[in-house]
Amino acid sequence: MSAKSAQAVLEAKQLKHAKKGILAGILSGVLWGASGTVLYLALNFEPFTLPQFSGEGLEFGPGLALLVAAALCGALMHDTFAAIWVGVHNIRAGKFKEYGRTLRTKPGKMVCLGAILGGPIGMSGYLLGITFVNAAYALPITAAYPALAAVLATFIFRERNPARVWIGVVLCILGSFLVYYAPLGEGQEKDVYFAIGMVLSTLACLGWASEGLLSTYGMDMLDPDIALGIREGVSAIAYFIFVVPVVTLFMSNSFGPTPIWELFSAAWHTSALPIYVFAGFLGGFSYIYWYRALNMTGVARAMALNVTYALWGVLFGAIFTGLTPTIYLVMGAGAIACGAILVSANPRELFRLRETK
């Protein structure tokens, strides 16, 4: 085979590899948007609809406590099942034995720290946002995390960003204002629960942006599947030993009974269980495809494709939750997605696969 023919074969393999990476990035966004919608739908099933857990007709304090309990139960269930699904995936690939060795390394410890920021902080804010407002509203706000990460990197790591990145940041800010402004619909004008939900969604954005900054170092030196398994496992354990006990104590003393453990126990014996198993599957494999895209297409392309979950969330919300999206919501979600793509990658190079490294 001539040198020219060998080069052509190599380029064809690289192009095929890059196309698979693009598909993986798109799938990660679709699955994450679907996961958020499924988690929102789970609130319509037992045990959350039972009188003792629904909070219907209660005053603000007790009602808030029950909503927080439902959200954190959902976060605990989601990360537990996501960790199980990713663990099964790693066992089938013969990688599970690497968990212990990786945890003893410095990059592994960085992943653990990132897991705390992305799980108990990021995921809790995300699930609380979904519980207080429709997932179609919470998802676009969290999708601004690449823009927030770019801002944090500028101040913390003194990174210099091109004008394209700052245009993307401005678009994300404007899009966030539009989503915040969007009313919930007939008879559901913005109230205190809506405001709380949107603020908590912003907290999720901050947690995921911080996770990205801290975990990037670790991810560059570890098998992505192992890093992901550790991330999900550490997050689930942190909920059990710290987040749920602390929040239960604080909320119960401040607002009223917060039955997170009771909901968690009841959810294993009611119709919500298969829904959370499915949500964990969607969330776990969204991460798996995202890390595959990181490996196949690079960080910029993978992140740009992943954040399209803002638009998928609005679409799935309209199809499956009965939400009628307002023009402000659609415009805001679109602006945030476009802004995040600008922050993550040069649009001209996004699909120029032959230059993919």
258-303: per-residue pLDDT in tens? 888 888 888 888 888 899 899 989 988 898 887 777 667 766 667 7
Contact between 338 and 330 (Cβ < 8 Å): no
Residue 8 lies in a domain: no
Is 353's pLDDT higher than 60?
no
Query: Tokens 């793509």 sit at which residue?
Result: 341
If you average pLDDT over residues 56-85, what whole number do you get? Answer: 83
**What's the rounded mean pLDDT across residues 96-124?**
82
- Exposure on the CB side of residue 23, measured as CA atoms within 13 A: 6
In a domain, 5, yes or no: no
Segment 252-256 shows an average pLDDT of: 83
Structure confidence at residue 112 (pLDDT): 83
What residues contact residue 335 under an 8 Å CB cut-off, 6+ apart? 171, 172, 174, 175, 178
Q: Contact at 8 Å (CB) between 258 and 243? A: no
Instruction: Say yes or no to pLDDT of 229 above 50.
Output: yes
Task: Please give the structure tokens belonging to residue 50.
Answer: 């039972």
Q: What is the pLDDT of residue 282?
A: 92
Residues in contact with 266: Cβ distance below 8 Å, sequence separation at least 6, in sequence order: 46, 47, 50, 53
Q: In the structure, what pLDDT confidence band is assigned to residue 30 with cuts at 50, 70 and 90?
A: very high
Q: How many domains does the chain have?
A: 1
**How far from 89 is each of 30, 83, 84, 215, 278, CA to CA, in Å?**
20, 10, 9, 21, 15
* pLDDT band per the 50, 70, 90 thresholds, residue 2: low
Cα separation of 225 and 342, whole Å?
Answer: 27
If one counts every other C-beta atom within 10 angstroms of the C-beta of residue 46, the result is 14
Mean pLDDT score across all residues of the chain:
79
Give the type of residue at 191. Answer: D
Lowest mean pLDDT, pick from 68-77, 143-152, 207-216, 343-352: 343-352
DSSP string, 213-237: HHHHHHHHHS-HHHHHHHHHHHHHH
Per the structure, the complete domain to which residue 249 belongs is given by 16-355
Q: Is the pLDDT of residue 67 over 90?
A: no
Q: Is residue 4 part of a domain?
A: no
Using the predicted structure, report yes or no on whether residue 31 has a pLDDT greater than 90.
Answer: yes
Nearest to 178 by CA among 340, 327, 37, 339: 327
C-alpha span between 245 and 227 (Å, rounded)? 26
The pair of structure tokens assigned to 149 is 């990460």
User: According to the per-residue pLDDT averaged within each range, which of 11-20, 33-42, 107-116, 133-142 is highest?
Assistant: 33-42
Q: Residues 147, 339: contact at Cβ < 8 Å?
A: yes
Cβ–Cβ < 8 Å for 124, 243: yes
What pLDDT score does 356 carry?
46
Q: How far apart are CA 3 and CA 338, in angstroms?
A: 42
Specify if 287 maps to a domain: yes
> For the ranges 46-55, 61-70, 291-300, which has the lowest average pLDDT?
291-300
Does the pLDDT value for residue 96 go beyond 90? no
Question: Is 218 within the bounds of a domain?
Answer: yes
Q: What is the pLDDT of residue 189?
A: 45
Higher-pLDDT residue of 136, 185: 136
On the question of pLDDT at 111 being above 70, the answer is yes
Taking residues 188-203, what's their average pLDDT? 76
CA distances from 36 to 29, 83, 129, 165, 354 (A): 11, 17, 10, 27, 34
What's residue 34's pLDDT?
A: 92
Highest mean pLDDT, choosing among 175-184, 248-257, 334-343:
248-257
How much of the chain, in percent, has pLDDT values that exceed 90? 3
Lowest-pLDDT choice from 13-22, 88-97, 160-169, 335-344: 13-22
| C-alpha 205: how far from chain center | 9
- Predicted pLDDT of residue 215: 64
- 9 in any annotated domain: no
> Residue 188: what pLDDT?
46
pLDDT of the residue at 232: 85
Q: What gap in Å lies between CA 119 and CA 232, rounded to an integer?
A: 8
Q: What is the pLDDT of residue 357?
A: 44
Kindly tell me if the per-residue pLDDT of 57 is higher than 80: no
- Mean pLDDT computed over 322-342: 81
Q: Is residue 6 part of a domain?
A: no
Cα–Cα distances (Å) from 338 to 10, 181, 306, 325, in that order, read 33, 19, 12, 18
Q: Which residue has the higher pLDDT, 348 or 76?
A: 76
Does residue 59 fall inside a structural domain? yes
